[in-house]
Amino acid sequence: MTVKKISRYEIEKEIGRGAMGVVYLAHDPIINRDVALKTIDIANSLDTARRDELTKRMLVEVRSAGRLNHQNIVTIYDYGEETLPFVVMELVEGESLESLRKKKQKFGVEEVYPIIDGVANGIDYAHSMGVVHRDIKPDNILITKEYVPKITDFGIARMLDASSTQDSAIIGSPSFMSPEQILGGHVDGATDIFSFGIILYYLLAGEKPFAANTPHAVTYKILNEEPRPPSFYNPSLTLHIDGVLLKTLSKDPNERYKKAADVVESLVRAHARKKDRTDPRGEDLTSVKRNVLSEISNVDTIMEEATSNFRRHHFNKKQKR
């Protein structure tokens, strides 16, 4: 059955569909503007009392996310409940970062900078307002026609978490989840930083750091394995950039960068350094890490932090053996 109207919003067409529901292009006749309306699918297996409880929690979450007012975050306009709860958001004309990445495959630091700088600003602003996204991924970053990134679905990942009978460890997109999120532990801004690091790796290396054929295999790698330095996949990247990205992907939240803007600043500073003359891509992973440690030992304070991170990971890997 074709949906014609949800609440006061006139549905024009479906523009997206995912695990959480359907996104429609809709028109608000009162304000006279086009909007994006996203339905939130609550588990049908829940009893009425539990569904009522969760819809109340959803309202709290959307109110929290609705406080965000930033050029790099999609604005939330409204929330309602009809057949399903729904969120009404700013309509962004453009494409997702995932769509853009598929066309480009790999990005250089200079060309990706306008995107990652805007995303970092949006993430840090949300954190300053006490809001954690929990599902930062390329599909949730929209790029406008003016090449301005806008993060969408703030608060919706938490609403899905609340509406699920499943453990929170599996809520989100496995390829972009943090270790603590997978384990169902405490989730704060460090989780978004980890996901942001995966996005940077994905854009610059052209590969995901924890790629596998199944969600279970992906989560195992995130919890137990260290990713290859991104320069393994993209020889144009320097070992200093390797250091920044692998620090961002530290399994211990306390060892990551504290702000997304710090990641971008460190990346730019690393890129500005002279590219080293050695090419470790033909060596095994252990040798690559040794070279990375050797190179990073000479950089500034931020790079020194990355060095310590590499040494710890390398030592832990030896201990496991």
Residue 249 sits in a domain whose CATH number is 1.10.510.10
The backbone region for 211, taken as left when phi is positive above 0, alpha when psi lies in -120 to 50, beta otherwise, is beta
**Is residue 98 located within the same domain as residue 73?**
no
| Other beta carbons within 10 Å of 268 | 16
Q: In the predicted model, what is the mean pLDDT of residues 188-200?
A: 97
Domain end marker among 70, 90, 110:
90
Q: In the predicted model, what is the mean pLDDT of residues 117-139?
A: 95
Tell me the pLDDT tens digit for each residue of 47-106: 677 667 767 777 777 887 888 999 999 999 999 888 788 999 999 999 999 999 999 878
Catalytic sites, residue numbers = 135
Q: Of all residues in the chain, what percent carry a pLDDT higher than 70?
A: 75
Name the average pLDDT for the chain.
Answer: 82
pLDDT at position 112 over 80: yes
**Is residue 251 located within the same domain as residue 288?**
yes
Q: What is the rounded radius of gyration, in angstroms, for the C-alpha atoms of the chain?
A: 21
**Is residue 99 located within the same domain as residue 190?**
yes
Residue 243: its pLDDT value, please? 96
**Is residue 281 located within the same domain as residue 151?**
yes
pLDDT at position 287 over 90: no
The upper half-sphere exposure of residue 226, i.e. CA atoms within 13 Å in the direction of its Cβ, equals 24
**Is residue 179 located within the same domain as residue 117?**
yes
The span from the CA of 183 to the CA of 220, in Å, is 11
Residue 138: its pLDDT value, please? 96
Domain end marker among 65, 90, 115:
90
Residue 29: its pLDDT value, please? 96
Please report, for the domain that includes residue 46, its CATH number: 3.30.200.20
**Is residue 42 located within the same domain as residue 166?**
no
The span from the CA of 24 to the CA of 17, in Å, is 9
**Is residue 100 located within the same domain as residue 65?**
no
Unique residue bearing structure tokens 């609403």:
159
**Is residue 149 located within the same domain as residue 35?**
no
Choice among 177-186, 230-239, 286-295 with the minimum mean pLDDT: 286-295
Choice among 5-9, 84-88, 257-261, 312-316 with the minimum mean pLDDT: 312-316
**Is residue 58 located within the same domain as residue 138?**
no
Residue 165: its pLDDT value, please? 39
The span from the CA of 135 to the CA of 49, in Å, is 28
pLDDT at position 316 over 80: no
**Is residue 151 located within the same domain as residue 78?**
no
**Is residue 119 located within the same domain as residue 69?**
no
The span from the CA of 299 to the CA of 296, in Å, is 6
Handedness of CA 173, 174, 179, 185 (dihedral sign): positive
* Structural domain for 253, as ranges: 94-320
pTM: 0.79
Total domain count, the chain: 2
Highest mean pLDDT among 43-52, 110-119, 292-301: 110-119
Tell me the pLDDT tens digit for each residue of 212-252: 999 999 999 999 999 999 999 999 999 999 999 999 999 99
* pLDDT confidence bin for 166, thresholds 50/70/90: very low
Residue 221: its pLDDT value, please? 97
Residue 2: its pLDDT value, please? 76
Domain end marker among 41, 65, 90:
90
**Is residue 76 located within the same domain as residue 121?**
no
The count of residues in the chain is 321
